[in-house]
Chains A and B, each alone.
Chain A
Amino acid sequence: MNAPISSFASGPLVETSAARVSQSAPCGRLSLRARGDLAPFEAVLGLSLGGPIGARATAGETESIRLGPDEWMLHCPVEAVAGLEAALAPLYGSHPHSLVDVSGRETSFVIEGPRASELLTMGCPRDIETILPGSGRRTVFDGVTVILWRDAADRFRMDLWHSFAPHLLHLLETGSRELAAESL
């Protein structure tokens, strides 16, 4: 599995009767770390940062997922990154936080199909069924840290660092074929 991610074809990367894997379009990604009063951040972003770990919120084209008590991942259009940085910067003095652009670090796979959640069990020790549609988790897949966003019962997004993408795609491909060959 040595093809670099830049050589991935457009369209589905994997497609079987069990699951389909494609690479999502590039987006802006910001790692937000903050403690204490979240209201000022929520006011700027226009979305709720509260809720349990794994909770998600959406405002327009900005999406957030809570990864830890003081950690969120924000997704937004690429061109919106600078605006969000500029909008949050004034809060720093009164509400110290860390906002780091990681748009270049990651990519996302869209994993969907009737057996998408079973496909994830091949690399993820967490109980996929406890990640309810509309929520997500930071977890591991095949030993690599990923963020899973469950968009529907049979559709997930997997955020991962670029350099791990070919390796993980290889397992997703092997696994999709394995599942498709199974008689149920």
Chain B
Amino acid sequence: MSQYRVSGRGRVDTSRPVSFTFDGKTFTGAQGDTVASALLANGVHLMGRSFKYHRPRGPVAAGSEEPNALIGTRRGAGRFEPNTRATVQEIWDGLQTNSQNKYPSLKFDVGAVNDAAYMLFSAGFYYKTFMWPRSFWDKVYEPFIRGAAGLGVSPTEEDPDHYASRNMHCDVLIVGAGPSGLAAARAAAVEGLKVVLVDESPEAGGTLLSEPQVKIDGKPAWDWLAAEVEALKALGVKIMTRTTAIAYYHQNMVGLCEKLTDHLATLPADTPRERLWRVRAGQVVLAQGALEKPLVFHGNDRPGVMLAGSAQTYLNRYGVLVGTRPVVVTSHDSAWYAAFDLADAGAKVQAIVDIREGVHEALLTEARARGIPVKLSHTATATSGRLRVSKIRVNPVRGGQVGSGTEIDCDAVLMSGGWTPSLHLFSHTKGSLAWNDDLTTFLPEKTPEDCVIAGASRGLWGVEAALRDGAEKGREVVAALGKSGASVAYAVADDRTGTGVSMKELPTDRSPGKAKAFVDYQNDVTAKDLRLAVREGMRSIEHVKRYTTNGMATDQGKMSNINGLNIASDALGKKQPQVGLTTFRPPYTPTTFGAFAGYHRGSHFEVTRKTRIDEWAAQHGAAFEPVGQWRRAWYFPKAGESMDDAVRRECAATRESLGIFDASTLGKIEVVGPDAVEFMNRMYTNPWTKLGVGRCRYGLLCGDDGFIRDDGVIGRMGQDRFHVTTTTGGAARVLNMMEDYLQTEWPDLNVWLTSTTEQWATVALNGPNAAKLLAPLVEGVELTEEAFPHMSCVECTVAGMPARLFRVSFTGEIGFEVNVPAPMGRQLWETLWDAGQQYGITPYGTETMHVLRAEKGYIIVGQDTDGTVTPFDAGMGWAVGKAKPDFVGKRGLARPDLVAKGRKQLVGLLSEDGSKLEEGAQIVFDPKQPIPMKMVGHVTSSYDVGTTGRPIALALVEGGHDRLGEIVHIPMPDRTIAAKITGTVFFDPENARLKI
């Protein structure tokens, strides 16, 4: 065992050695170690290089707030993660880790020249340096910034892990399993409430894990803790460890990220790496404790300089001495106890340096008993040592004057600038904070959520105070949930209470302008950067933060915010609350994308809906395209055919004889009730009152702004019953819009809506032979022009199946849509397929459907319209019932800008050179005008195959309806194409082909 591992201390199991690698070298730690504690036990403090200056860095903390010791971890093939906190990652046999931001090696890094050139890299460096010349931006500045940005290397392999998510409901969620969290859990659990207690650590206990000397109810802390955890479990409390409450959302929903496998050498089958919990809690208790603040002085970032409380944690929890000759520098009593603990574990504490002029006599007595020299009213002004601290320079301060310095040899510096209550989740609730002058920190005030905050996270100090407050807050939430609990008292002995003062940067006898006194370790922000920002005009902490990047690293300023605020407010000569605090945002600690994605990756990324005929299409070689959530047959290529070949053949076959098309994805809504026709009149632009039963009509739906939202053919199946169809992608949206109007605007209407999209399988037959094919199969109606004209609908039987038959056409040919109950869809399709062989029946997909409808000038909502097109713009004023008293969009359509001249209107375009135009291409009137040209519209649909013998296009063009026959121009990268404006119907304008 190394000289740094203290036998008999810590909760790690030294009888179970664990080997892992760091930068290729094998190290041995103990079961229960983190990477940081194991490396420290091996005397290694240097774990990385800093972001901007490439300064050597080691761990400054022992928990998730660590800003320095960020490493890469490899947990086997494909499982690489950058920026893992070495203080959090548990070790296991075979774990591979590496340091970051160094080249060629951690100990000799050429990037460290930035450190020597630090005067160049001051606050606002990027803003000042990369201003000019403009031409340097693309080739020089941006690549430089991108090269320098970010810490660590992104993984290159696909993540082989999987991720999970669950919802959970409980009466009380407690965040933090330290003394106050444990006490709150007991208070709620004894009342029979459903309690969930979460902690980011591998085990519950919080500060008790670092304070084994405390006695609670007569038991040593760890014995009490073990018994209490068991007792809480027996009371039904769900205790979740390695689980971070990452965010507090509205109405008491808290996001938890549970890490399940990162600490395991062997991955269990079917177990996700992480699980995101969405917890809806009746009451939330925030018991996140407090985080220690560093002191700000020159060289406070050198490896070996760390927080005193963290050193105490390394000793008491991990059995590791962070140094054998430490110096303690502090402005808070807590660091004195760290010194005593290290001394008692065999370290030779070189000195306790306290900024304060006086401390409690008991501390002096304890220090004296251990032979530790004490220097009160002293400041630290520098450290030295290349890759690890070897000396610290301390100076007396008398009446504001800093005296001459003395150097003290050491191998570690333990600092404490006091403690900051952890208010992150409280801040997520939009809770208000109040500045407390005595504690020089913000404390929680009010929150709009059903939430209380307990213990050190509201500024209380000591185990007894935390237990008492936890029990009290626990009773508060019990009462809020309608129960009453008895008060519980805890008898605590050997507690370490104390006080301290909060500092700006420490006084120094040297030029403050040259001090590298770090405030934000992760972003390399120094005290002088903050003062410079103020000198350059930044007044609000929000501006100071952005100018300097203080608190903007992934640790979100857990250590730097209050120090930064103290310095900025001193520079501004204002009190801290006048300067303000920046807002904490979720997540509390960095969280993987995998945790947020959960199950939604790979084949489960998004729903893929398929029709009952999809399988037939796949068996017949269809190519598919996604339309909304559906996958639809796009075209059916035969061997050797390109898409264009196949579409041309499908178009021709349909126009010449018979095409069959799966239209099942069309949205369908059954509108039923005595007020059905009134509802239809109000909803759609068209009039419906005079539509007879058994007839159908093309319906156009607008938003209240007057712009086209959806369209579809609607059949009147009965006096009070309509069969509405919508676009494929619009089905859910249209139903929601209708329900919205029905429930909020017209609750008086006696009508109900039912989605029947998936009730029916819909097969469209189009072509001159469509009626011939269908007639022998239909019972209940004669398919003649007289008995069943175009735009008719009927309930009948088709091939023995109950059906709703529509005579409609989206191709310009004789057309039918046969709806049968969905489970019969495949059978209907195959029956028609077999019977249609005599007509050379040809299956076609969405592409042919698009071409054939474009040839007839039928619009596709969402392609030829974009949410700014009115029925009149689209040339469909005929679909607007002008005599109707009202309909959705009527007022909108009367707005001055919607009736103004020069609106973009839908027209046909035929290129002069016979080439196919590009969809989305912009249109200009005069191609010779100077650039930037005035764009007057764009091509919405364009096809170069089809049955008209030439490419056709639809376009929106300013004043297009008054420009028929005019030439417009489409500038392309290589040339400008001239095109003639035409009507939108390119094929059979007389509709002669619709007749049987």
A binds B: yes
Interface of B is mostly: mixed
Inter-chain contact A161/B674, CB cutoff 8 Å:
no
Inter-chain contact A33/B603, CB cutoff 8 Å:
no
Q: Which residues of A lie under 8 Å from residue B756 when comparing CB positions? A: 100, 102, 105
Asked whether A181 and B271 contact (CB < 8 A) given A4-B615, A98-B673, A105-B759, the answer is: yes
Binary contact readout A161-175 vs B (1 if CB under 8 angstroms, 0 otherwise): 111101100110011
Inter-chain contact B670/A98, CB cutoff 8 Å:
yes
Asked whether A100 and B269 contact (CB < 8 A) given A121-B166, A125-B278, the answer is: no
Inter-chain contact A167/B823, CB cutoff 8 Å:
no
**A residues 1-51 in Cβ contact with B at 8 Å:** 1-2, 4, 6-7, 26, 31, 33, 35
Rounded to whole Å, the gap between the CB of B196 and the closest CB of chain A is 13
Inter-chain contact B604/A167, CB cutoff 8 Å:
yes
Which of A105, A118, A163, A170 is within 8 Å of B610, CB to CB? A163
Asked whether A162 and B822 contact (CB < 8 A) given A104-B760, A180-B270, the answer is: yes
Asked whether A2 and B603 contact (CB < 8 A) given A125-B167, A178-B271, A181-B269, the answer is: yes
Is A127 in contact with chain B by the CB < 8 A criterion? yes
Is A144 in contact with chain B by the CB < 8 A criterion? yes
Binary contact readout B744-781 vs A (1 if CB under 8 angstroms, 0 otherwise): 00000011101111111100000000000000000000
Asked whether A1 and B604 contact (CB < 8 A) given A104-B823, A181-B268, the answer is: yes
Which of A102, A118, A144, A163 is within 8 Å of B611, CB to CB? A163
Residue in chain A with minimal CB distance to B664: A163
Q: Which residues of A lie under 8 Å from residue B630 when comparing CB positions? A: 163
Which of A35, A105, A121, A144 is within 8 Å of B168, CB to CB? A121
Inter-chain contact B612/A98, CB cutoff 8 Å:
no
Binary contact readout A143-163 vs B (1 if CB under 8 angstroms, 0 otherwise): 110000000000000000111
Binary contact readout B263-291 vs A (1 if CB under 8 angstroms, 0 otherwise): 00000111110000010100000000000
Residue in chain B with minimal CB distance to A168: B607
Inter-chain contact B603/A170, CB cutoff 8 Å:
yes
Inter-chain contact B615/A104, CB cutoff 8 Å:
no
Inter-chain contact B758/A105, CB cutoff 8 Å:
yes
Residue in chain A with minimal CB distance to B721: A98
With the chains together, A98 CA to B720 CA distance in Å?
10
Binary contact readout A82-100 vs B (1 if CB under 8 angstroms, 0 otherwise): 0000000000100011111
Q: Which residues of B lie under 8 Å from residue A138 when comparing CB positions? A: none
Is B730 in contact with chain A by the CB < 8 A criterion? no
Asked whether A102 and B754 contact (CB < 8 A) given A121-B167, A121-B168, the answer is: yes
With the chains together, A122 CA to B826 CA distance in Å?
33
With the chains together, A178 CA to B720 CA distance in Å?
50
Is A57 in contact with chain B by the CB < 8 A criterion? no
Q: Which residues of B lie under 8 Å from residue A61 when comparing CB positions? A: none
Asked whether A174 and B167 contact (CB < 8 A) given A2-B608, A96-B673, A181-B269, the answer is: no
Inter-chain contact A6/B612, CB cutoff 8 Å:
yes
Is A124 in contact with chain B by the CB < 8 A criterion? yes
Q: Which residues of A lie under 8 Å from residue B611 when comparing CB positions? A: 163
Is B941 in contact with chain A by the CB < 8 A criterion? no
Rounded to whole Å, the gap between the CB of A70 and the closest CB of chain B is 7
By size class, the interface of chain B is: 35 or more
Rounded to whole Å, the gap between the CB of B743 and the closest CB of chain A is 10
Q: Which residues of A lie under 8 Å from residue B615 when comparing CB positions? A: 4, 6-7
Is B508 in contact with chain A by the CB < 8 A criterion? no
Rounded to whole Å, the gap between the CB of B841 and the closest CB of chain A is 23
Is B169 in contact with chain A by the CB < 8 A criterion? yes
Rounded to whole Å, the gap between the CB of A41 and the closest CB of chain B is 14
Inter-chain contact B672/A98, CB cutoff 8 Å:
yes
Interface of A is mostly: mixed
Q: Which residues of A lie under 8 Å from residue B96 when comparing CB positions? A: none
Residue in chain A with minimal CB distance to B821: A104
Is A101 in contact with chain B by the CB < 8 A criterion? yes
With the chains together, A143 CA to B605 CA distance in Å?
12
With the chains together, A6 CA to B822 CA distance in Å?
12
With the chains together, A121 CA to B821 CA distance in Å?
33
Which of A106, A122, A125, A181 is within 8 Å of B599, CB to CB? A122
With the chains together, A179 CA to B826 CA distance in Å?
37
With the chains together, A35 CA to B749 CA distance in Å?
12
Binary contact readout B481-519 vs A (1 if CB under 8 angstroms, 0 otherwise): 000000000000000000000000000000000000000
Q: Which residues of B lie under 8 Å from residue A129 when comparing CB positions? A: 169
Is B42 in contact with chain A by the CB < 8 A criterion? no
Is A103 in contact with chain B by the CB < 8 A criterion? yes
Asked whether A104 and B270 contact (CB < 8 A) given A6-B615, A98-B673, A167-B604, the answer is: no
Rounded to whole Å, the gap between the CB of B555 and the closest CB of chain A is 31
Is B614 in contact with chain A by the CB < 8 A criterion? yes
With the chains together, A12 CA to B682 CA distance in Å?
48
Is B164 in contact with chain A by the CB < 8 A criterion? yes
Residue in chain A with minimal CB distance to B170: A127
Asked whether A174 and B599 contact (CB < 8 A) given A104-B821, A167-B607, the answer is: yes
Q: Which residues of A lie under 8 Å from residue B754 when comparing CB positions? A: 31, 33, 98, 100, 102
Inter-chain contact B167/A1, CB cutoff 8 Å:
no
Q: Which residues of B lie under 8 Å from residue A167 when comparing CB positions? A: 604, 607-608
Which of A98, A121, A164, A178 is within 8 Å of B607, CB to CB? A164
With the chains together, A136 CA to B616 CA distance in Å?
36
Asked whether A70 and B752 contact (CB < 8 A) given A104-B822, A122-B166, A170-B604, the answer is: yes
Residue in chain A with minimal CB distance to B761: A104
User: 28 A-B contacts, Cβ less than 8 Å apart?
Assistant: A1-B604, A2-B610, A6-B612, A7-B615, A33-B672, A70-B752, A96-B673, A98-B670, A98-B751, A98-B752, A100-B759, A101-B759, A102-B756, A104-B822, A105-B759, A121-B167, A122-B164, A122-B167, A124-B167, A125-B278, A163-B610, A167-B607, A167-B608, A171-B599, A174-B162, A178-B164, A178-B271, A181-B269
A residues near B (Cβ < 8 Å) are 1-2, 4, 6-7, 26, 31, 33, 35, 70, 92, 96-106, 118, 121-122, 124-127, 129-130, 142-144, 161-164, 166-167, 170-171, 174-175, 177-178, 180-182
- Please provide the 3 A-B residue pairs with the shortest distance between their CB atoms, ordered closest to farther: A163-B609, A98-B672, A33-B752
B residues near A (Cβ < 8 Å) are 162, 164-169, 268-272, 278, 280, 599, 603-604, 607-612, 614-615, 629-630, 670, 672-674, 720, 750-752, 754-761, 821-824, 826
Question: What 17 new A-B contacts, CB under 8 Å, besides A7-B615, A126-B167, A167-B604?
Answer: A70-B752, A97-B673, A98-B670, A98-B673, A100-B754, A100-B756, A104-B822, A104-B823, A105-B755, A105-B758, A121-B167, A125-B280, A163-B758, A174-B604, A178-B164, A178-B270, A178-B272
